Amino acid sequence: MKVLDELKYAQGHEWVRVEGNKAYIGITDFAQDELGDIVFMELPELESQVDVDDILGTVESVKAASDIYAPVSGRVVEVNDELEVSPELINEDPYEAWIAVIEMGDIGELDDLMDAQEYEKFCEEEA
């Protein structure tokens, strides 16, 4: 399982990469491994407002479908359209295949997320 130190992590197995007041959101290596081969990705609507724990999108694999939850609140300012055509990019490199970019309303919400070490421990306990 690959975990990147520079990211923040949510209990729903989403990762967050922060650039200024923008949060790039994706699913973790642990999540994509649990899901198996990803065959479909439903992206959030551009310019939509989301709150923490709102459904941001849905990922479907050969095994299951799983909702992706917003780890931060704000406005969706970008979506990775490439995933609609090639959802398997998430399996190939989940930390490059971001799903959406949220312009954060409250940067303080990042404090509620886990760092890499906390996330690794969380995954060990879940396994």
Reported as a single tens digit per residue, the pLDDT across 38-81 is 999 999 999 999 999 999 999 999 989 999 999 999 999 999 99
Which CATH code for domain 8-126?
2.40.50.100
First to last CA, the chain: 12
Residues 6+ apart with CB under 8 A from 15: 4, 7, 8, 9, 25, 26, 27, 28, 94, 95
Domain coordinates in residue numbering, the chain: 8-126
pLDDT tens digit sequence for 102-126:
999 999 999 999 999 999 999 999 8
Grade residue 34 by pLDDT with cuts at 50, 70 and 90.
very high
pLDDT tens digit sequence for 74-101:
999 999 999 999 999 999 999 999 999 9
